Amino acid sequence: MLNLLIMGKPGAGKGTQSERLLRHYQLTHISTGNIYREEMLKGSPIGIEAAKYISQGELVPDDLTNNIVRDVLANGNFPNGFMLDGYPRTKAQAVALDQMLEEFGMSLTAVINVLVDDSILLERMAGRRVCPSCNATYHIKNHPPKIECTCDACGTKLIQRADDLEESVLNRLRIYNEKTKPLLDYYKRRHQLMVIDGVRSSDDVFNDIVEKLGEKNGHH
């Protein structure tokens, strides 16, 4: 049983690594961002409430978010374990999570922090382009498409996501530094924090995480 929590600033590669880890360990994904996006699509009361904050680039209030995670943990079935992604994002959420885990007789195996410097993040995000049709991602310098501004896979014209515009990136980084960064100390004090250098190829980052998790579980 592997219960992971993955953290990282916007653009640190958390999305890529979480996808690979989910597949590798066959974990159940618990992403509050995904849950909110689904609720917004459905137009449910939770979705309507969350949209007020999400559209402003702000965090959804802790109570609402904690209740959602509580429901998932209470009713979920996690044959190989779960991976929390995008939660907790505040100290109050981390405290609430600890209480829930204790109540349900669960615990975190590790808290993975994919670490990347702010200056590198800004450069990564500024160059990121996505295909609006098939969601493939590119970077104008690090991973350019074969034909400029055009998706290799389907030929659609690439776009820059609104989230990746500099003003929005700076706002997300500011919120991260203010609200989420203190959690790193919280987990470090509990000896649960696993810091991973995120300024490497996606393969190197992934292999490092798998190796460190293996050491933690006492097998290589």
Of the listed pieces 22-30, 84-92, 126-134, 145-153, which binds ligand AMP according to CB under 6 A? 84-92
β strands within the chain, DSSP E: 4-8, 28-31, 82-85, 110-115, 128-130, 137-139, 193-197
Of the listed pieces 41-49, 80-88, 123-131, 151-159, which binds ligand AMP according to CB under 6 A? 80-88
Contact status, residue 130 vs residue 138, Cβ threshold 8 Å: yes
Pairing of strands 137-139, 4-8: unpaired
Pairing of strands 110-115, 4-8: parallel
Active-site residue, selected from the candidate residues 52, 157, 161, 174: 161
Output 124 or 145, the one with its CB closest to ligand AMP.
Answer: 124
- Pick one of 86, 112, 113, 114: the residue that binds ligand AMP (CB under 6 A): 86
With binding defined as CB under 6 A, does residue 13 bind ligand AMP?
no
| Number of shown-chain residues binding ligand AMP (CB under 6 A) | 13
With binding defined as CB under 6 A, does residue 53 bind ligand AMP?
yes
Q: How far is the CB of 7 from ligand AMP (least distance, A)?
A: 11
Spatial distance between the Cα atoms of 202 and 142, rounded to a whole number of angstroms: 12
- Give me Rg for the CA atoms of the chain: 18
Of the listed pieces 83-91, 95-103, 152-160, 197-205, which binds ligand AMP according to CB under 6 A? 83-91
Q: How far is the CB of 87 from ligand AMP (least distance, A)?
A: 4
Which strand (E) or helix (H) includes residue 212? helix 202-216
18-47: b (≥16 Cβ within 10 Å) or e = bebbbeeeebbebbbeebbeebbeeeeebb
Output 49 or 152, the one with its CB closest to ligand AMP.
Answer: 49
The answer to whether 161 is a known catalytic residue is yes
Contact status, residue 137 vs residue 24, Cβ threshold 8 Å: no
With binding defined as CB under 6 A, does residue 32 bind ligand AMP?
yes
Of the listed pieces 22-30, 59-67, 142-150, 193-201, which binds ligand AMP according to CB under 6 A? 59-67
- Pick one of 54, 101, 140, 184: the residue that binds ligand AMP (CB under 6 A): 54
The answer to whether 174 is a known catalytic residue is no
The answer to whether 14 is a known catalytic residue is yes
Contact status, residue 83 vs residue 22, Cβ threshold 8 Å: yes
- Which residues does the annotation mark as catalytic? 14, 89, 128, 161, 172
